[in-house]
Structure 1
Amino acid sequence: MTEALKNAFDQASALSDQDQNFIAAIMLEEMRSGDGWKKEYEESGLEIDQLAHEAHLEHLAGKTIPLDPDKL
């Protein structure tokens, strides 16, 4: 078991039985659905790459401004 999955299970174990059952149902349904989530993830990755490329071009063209955390 990976550390990430172990951490998720450790955190989930602190929840109520009802919440744990809900999370278990979601996980099982995701696993039953096969590789559909992998395809969605890969497709969204392409969209994210395109958005990152467009943002980079806008930055190179001087169309961006520095982020000021105090103004958020």
Structure 2
Amino acid sequence: MTELLDRTITKLKTLSVEQQDAIAMIILEELEDEIQWNNSFERSQDLLAKLAKEAMSEYHAGKTQELDLETL
């Protein structure tokens, strides 16, 4: 465990049970979100590579145009 995490847990222990549970739920939800994001990103690598290859082919074939932020 890192020193920062250890200090944080020490401070958390001074809070009420309700506050500890609320913070624990926030942390668990963040960890779950991070896991889901990583899994989604890993599964999308082939698709992203395919889309990038198609975009570069269109660019080299002159089928693209410069993005004009004023017309968005």
TM-score relative to the length of structure 2 = 0.50
